[in-house]
Amino acid sequence: MADLSLSLAVDSTPANNLTFGNKVFLSSGDFEVLWNNSPTGNTDRHSHNSKDTLVSVGDWVFTARIGLNRMQRRTANLALNTVIPVYPFPEKVGNITMVAINLMADLMVKGKGKPKQVDTSKLSDAFKVNFSHQVFTPNQVLAMTFEGSKLEIVVQSVEVATIDGREGQGFTSTHQNTHGMLNNQTDIGWTKPPGSMVNLEGQTGPGGQNIIFRADFDFAKLGIGGLGKEFSQIFRRAFASRIFNSAVVREMGISHVRGMLLYGPPGCGKTLIARQIGKVLNAREPKIVNGPEVLDKFVGGSEEKIRALFADAEKEQADQGEASMLHIVIFDEIDAICKTRGTVRDGTGVSDSVVNQLLSKIDGVDSLNNVLIIGMTNRKDMIDDALLRPGRLEVHVEIGLPDEAGRLQILQIHTRGMKERGRLDKETADNMEELSRLTKNFSGAEIEGLVKSAASYAFEREVDVKNLDQAPDPNNLVVRWKDFQSALCEVHPKFGADSQELETLYANGIVPYSQEFDEVQVTLGRLIEQTRLSERTPIMSVLLQGEAFSGKTALMAHAAVTSGFPFIRKIAADELIGMGEVSKAGYISRVFLDSYKSPLSIILIDDLERVIDFVRTGPRFSNTVLQTLLVLLKKPPPQGHRLLVMATTAVPYLLEELMLVQAFMVSLHVPQLQGGGSVKTVLRKLVPMSQADMDNIAAVITNPIGIKQLLMVTEMARTDEETVSCERFLECLHTSGYSVDSYAAAPQS
């Protein structure tokens, strides 16, 4: 292929007034050579006097030289007198029509005065007049005069579409190899660099929108999974209004959202969201503050730190007004500095002063419209109410536990590197959906911990602990499905169900010993399914009442474990030992609050009378704990969440006067073993015994007996022999305190 280039030496623009046309200057002879080398069909884009040109031809420059202005030389990194090859433009101009272009403008010479007010509508018209039918590419720099000021323009991105394409087939690009031709139909968007000396008024984006998001951002690349709904809410409430220019917002009679609060369980991505939001916005670098860092040992120091966070935003708003860029301040653990006023008894009043200072900065007399405050906490209840009202942190977004689809996204994010580099076997990659089902109530951080745990098993497999001097082979390092199965036994969710602890409550299994007992089991199963499926009863409460040792706790624990609910918590008297009344009430309240974070939850309350410190003498009980239970048993969980509360008591007749029994929606009586048939059913299941001995024992046990007491007597009567004798059993039965009407009569052999 013939060389179409012409070697020319770089020269400066012939005259200062020619700098602002975005043209290059050639001699007539050099241009004729290039013209003859150009592909057939190129449009003639040269002239001696027309503004509508790409190349100016005349006697301004000598032969073998090309005139470039300072910005053109700087963009191309060219020094004067450098010899460069110059080619004719190889592509037909008509095929690179530009749909939209985003430009960044600033004064060429920056002074210390106030920024120049620039109407973007007039600026766009002037730009089209000066540069119509010229070709632009991202990162191109050019000079322009406007209303007596010299502007430096930088092309941020272009959106192009081929002339034979269909509507909607254009694409936006920030790549330097993309170029397009400006025409009268091209939409022009404007922005400005940090510290700019121009204030842009009116439309600042194509079609009248502000460019608040970076042109190259992609939410899929942020490394955040399972939060699509939350991102949509954040965008709608906090950013949608900022896309429109200030004139439109004023016509609507509203102001921008100045603050949002992200709250939810630990490890669900609150801090990650706030950090990534700062990356995708075309705004100032976010200021990230850990709540406790604001506190200062000197008087007034904490308030001064709050004022310093807003100093840059105040200065820029005073200088540039509505054209000021967005300033983001992120408070991590905001509950540490914004507790409800009057609740901190430290004698200094610092906490209240910090809250007051923050309130005045966000929504005071001289409130700022160019700030966005993002607060994060897992204790929303501790934050002062004044800070949560509209005008302050008015957008409240709960970042809760991810659902199954969200867990799958998070797993894919954390295993993407393994998969791309061949470190994840095919079985594991195919079972990701199954793994997302097995990780119920796992937070994002816990899923990350699960992946790390699985990887640790792969590391261990390739390391020879007996010969640590031998280097492991990295090519064999692959995470397998069995590694994740082992990791599931090691990593447990904070808001999960501790099945192992609950299974110890019915270690001997459940023996259906009577029809009445079967009916209780069936009813419990129906109540569990009602809680799972019914939209009309988001909260269900059931009280299991019966004599001591009748198996109420075992039955309750078994029903909870077999339900498959992801969140199960137990409240028992042994967990409240050493706590005062207020601490007990707070503990119970936290258990209920935690349950609201799971879509399906079960709370077990064992021995109600012990939990409320009930004593017959007096009688005495903890009214604080009682009132807490009465309130929480009636309070429905948040929308979309279901809660089942199961409790046990051996003295329901004593709790009725406290209105505690009536607080439960359903009361079920757990029967004792009564009659020879029930006793023989249990003995046949638990111990090896001859039929004759079993009949004799059943004949003796005429009074009701709890299944736990019968089990205890059976274990007492066990010897090293395989069977249990009737005499030994009856002796242990008497020792346990059971009253036998006919015990004096010896059993017949």
The angle formed by the CA atoms of residues 335, 339 and 342, to the nearest 5 degrees, is 170
Catalytic residue chosen out of the listed positions 30, 335, 363, 606: 606
Q: Check if 607 is active-site.
A: yes
Per the CB < 8 A criterion, the answer to whether 323 and 311 are in contact is: no
Per the CB < 8 A criterion, the answer to whether 587 and 572 are in contact is: no
Q: Check if 634 is active-site.
A: yes
Q: Please, what sign has the CA dihedral across residues 480, 483, 487, 489?
A: positive
Catalytic residue chosen out of the listed positions 552, 570, 584, 597: 552
Q: Are strands 187-191 and 98-107 parallel, antiparallel or unpaired?
A: parallel
Q: What whole-number distance in Å separates Cα of residue 93 and Cα of residue 462?
A: 61
Catalytic residue chosen out of the listed positions 315, 634, 635, 685: 634
Q: Check if 553 is active-site.
A: yes
Burial class (CB in 10 A: 0-12, 13-18, 19+), 730: buried
Q: What whole-number distance in Å separates Cα of residue 729 and Cα of residue 716?
A: 8
Residue 161 corresponds to which amino acid?
Answer: A
DSSP code per residue over 124-175:
HHHHHHHHTT-EE-TT-EEEEEETTEEEEEEEEEEEE--TTSPTT--EEE--
Q: Check if 403 is active-site.
A: no
Q: Check if 498 is active-site.
A: no
Helical spans, DSSP H, in 299-393? 301-320, 350-363
Q: How many CB atoms lie within 10 A of CB 49?
A: 7
Q: Which residues lie closer than 8 Å to 679 by C-beta, 6 or more apart?
A: 673, 697, 698, 701, 705, 710
Per the CB < 8 A criterion, the answer to whether 682 and 511 are in contact is: yes
Packing angle, helices 552-563 and 515-533, rounded to 10: 40
Catalytic residue chosen out of the listed positions 553, 624, 681, 714: 553
Q: What whole-number distance in Å separates Cα of residue 103 and Cα of residue 157?
A: 7
Q: What are phi and psi of 82, to 5 degrees?
A: -70, 135
Give me the torsion for CA of 511, 515, 520, 525, rounded to 10°.
80
Give the DSSP H/E element, type plus range, for residue 417: helix 404-420
Span between the terminal Cα atoms of the chain, in Å: 117
Q: Which residues lie closer than 8 Å to 586 by C-beta, 6 or more apart?
A: none
Q: Check if 482 is active-site.
A: no
| Residue 619, preceding peptide bond in cis (omega within 30° of 0) | yes
Residue 102 corresponds to which amino acid?
Answer: N
Q: Which residues lie closer than 8 Å to 724 by C-beta, 6 or more apart?
A: 687, 688, 689, 693, 714, 717, 718
Catalytic residue chosen out of the listed positions 607, 648, 693, 714: 607
Place of tokens 């602990």: 465
**Reduced 3-state DSSP string for 592-651:** HHHHCCCCEEEEEECCHHHHCCCECCCCECCHHHHHHHHHHCCCCCCCCCEEEEEEEECC
Catalytically active residues are 552-553, 606-607, 634, 708
